[in-house]
Amino acid sequence: MAYETLLLDIDANVALLTLNRPSVLNALNTTLLHELDEAIQELAMACTLRLANSSARLAQPEIKLGLIPGYGGSQRLPRLVGRGAALKLLLTGAVIDATEAYRIGLIDELVEAGSDALLARALELARLIASMPPLALAAAIESVDQGAGLPLDEALALEAHIFGRLCGTDDKREGTRAFLEKRQPVWSGR
């Protein structure tokens, strides 16, 4: 699908989604957000991990316009960085550098300046993740996402249930066989 504000390149199980509004420093607008939503509906691992170039600067500047972040910004940010750090960013509209974003947990990995290095690392990580068994990937995300809001005993029960569900899969059998035979597994997603 062609997008007005995005570039989408899919290679095997890895999709590269690039914001394409350089004249406004890739600022979000309604079209970009709508297109991101459409594209992400096709990307099962969307925003599971966040990498940034060491020269990146991030902000939630909506307060300066008399607004709050839309599209989940005021809800996702505290889940990533905690209530206090989120409120500091939301209430001040402050711009933070990549080092601070990494320190507070807004980004998961900091890559040295240079777009080539960032893209290379992002693709390396994406390809590694895409090489893993799809059912186990989805289950790991499910376990973390659902368990995060539960008391620990309920979260542990959820984890055990998901673990048990995976034990009956073809991928689990293939992974075990491949390990014992000292070869790379071939995942079926079943």
Token couple for 37 = 């939503």
* Banded pLDDT at 42 (limits 50, 70, 90): low
Token couple for 22 = 């350089």
- Taking the C-alpha atoms of residue 18 and residue 1, their distance in angstroms, rounded to an integer, is 14
Return the CATH number of 6-130, one of 3.30.565.10, 3.40.640.10, 3.40.50.2300, 3.90.226.10: 3.90.226.10
pLDDT at 46: 46
pLDDT at 104: 96
pLDDT at 21: 93
Q: Could you report the per-residue pLDDT of 67-124, keeping only the tens digit for each?
A: 998 878 898 899 889 999 999 999 999 999 999 999 999 999 999 877 689 989 999 9
Domain ranges of the chain: 6-130, 134-180
134-180 has which CATH code? 1.10.12.10
Does residue 100 carry a catalytic annotation?
no
Q: Which of 4, 38, 42, 112 is catalytic?
A: 42
Does residue 42 carry a catalytic annotation?
yes
Q: Which of 62, 100, 142, 174 is catalytic?
A: 62
Q: Which amino acid is at 177?
A: R
Interacting residues of 147 by C-beta distance below 8 A, sequence separation 6+: 154, 155, 158, 159
With 0.75 as the threshold, say if the pTM is over it. yes
Q: Are 169 and 139 in contact (CB under 8 A)?
A: no
